[in-house]
Amino acid sequence: MAAVRRWSEGMASDNVKGLVLALSSSLFIGASFIVKKKGLKKAGASGIRAGSGGYSYLLEPLWWVGMITMVVGEIANFAAYAFAPAILVTPLGALSIIISAALAHIILREKLHTFGILGCVLCVVGSTAIVLHAPPERQIESVTEVWDLATEPGFLFYALLVLTAVFILIFHFVPQYGQSHIMVYIGVCSLVGSISVMSVKAVGIALKLTFSGMNQLVYPQTWAFTLVVVTCVVTQMNYLNKALDTFNTAVVSPIYYVMFTTLTILASVIMFKDWDRQNPTQIITEMCGFVTILSGTFLLHKTKDMVDGTSLTSMSMRQLKHEEEDDFDESIPLKRQDSLRIP
């Protein structure tokens, strides 16, 4: 109760706005995954699939509906970062996992196992623990202060590591393993996403201060952060489309969430020094909450594999029985069975 009381008192200002905006963002983004997936499937039926390097989805209205829904969610998310720290805003993306998994089960017929539901519950519990112990937003009076934080050695080193990893993934691993290893596409999205969130927060703070009467648009740093945001978002969308078109939505969403959240919190801790304003108990509680979220997303991932594996086994058994009845050669069922495996 004491923790709840402290949380309520601390959330009486900008953090409340950030929380509401973050929740709204998750609702829109969770739904957008499903709408975009439907659009990608429809576009792939009549053109080159996004997973194979095609862009026919750009001519598909349904994909644009999903894109607009995601943009609305991202705008709400953008605003949330201007009012609340990343440690509070980012974990609330767990709600988008639940929405995405539930809609995928209903609309896309991608079955959600009972333990997958437990995974969703764990995501909510973990997010709640983090929100209850989130630090207050750092008071910043100018976008130049954010620039100073971004150009400190610690964050510059992190940004250099991220850029190096992204280039290695794009030019070496994507051509060879993009179609068979889900972590390749999602790795690019998550790494770039951690940088984009820091830039989004900087631009959000600049706009917030501008609307309050302190014009930040005259500073070149504001436009530098804006350029980084545009570049990162375009890259994220491109590789997220590839991941959605190639792999199961109920798998893409949680893995993307885990990697994106982990890297974003790490970037925020390095750049904005969120943990400097917290005691060890709060930090440990946040970490426990995050581990709980990881457990939930792991359940979602593994139970989806269980459902897919059961379906494939049933199909293979039916195929074998059919071949035996027709007295075909024994090697034929094996070839047919191989064709059913997920690459």
What are the structure tokens assigned to 277, written together? Answer: 């304003």
* The pLDDT value given to residue 193: 92
Running DSSP on this structure, what letter comes out for residue 169? I
pLDDT in tens, 261-301: 889 989 988 998 888 777 888 888 888 888 888 788 777 66
DSSP-derived secondary structure for 253-297: HHHHHHHHHHHHHHHHHHHH-GGGGS-HHHHHHHHHHHHHHHHHH
Running DSSP on this structure, what letter comes out for residue 113? -
* The pLDDT value given to residue 313: 43
Q: Is there a contact between 189 and 246 (Cβ–Cβ < 8 Å)?
A: no
Taking each helix axis from N to C end, the angle separating 220-246 and 143-150, rounded to the nearest 10 degrees, works out to 60
Contacts 24+ apart (CB under 8 A), 3-7: 3/132, 3/133, 4/132, 7/131, 7/132, 7/133, 7/134
Its pTM stands at: 0.70
pLDDT in tens, 97-125: 778 777 877 877 777 667 777 888 888 88
Residue with tokens 């570049």: 231
Q: Residue 307 and residue 31: Cα distance in Å, rounded?
A: 22
Tell me how far CA of residue 109 lies from CA of 102, 104, 105, in angstroms. Answer: 10, 6, 5
Taking each helix axis from N to C end, the angle separating 249-272 and 14-46, rounded to the nearest 10 degrees, works out to 140
pLDDT in tens, 15-27: 778 888 888 888 8
pLDDT band at 144 (very low <50, low <70, confident <90, very high): very high
pLDDT in tens, 218-272: 999 999 999 999 999 899 989 988 888 888 776 787 778 778 888 998 998 899 8
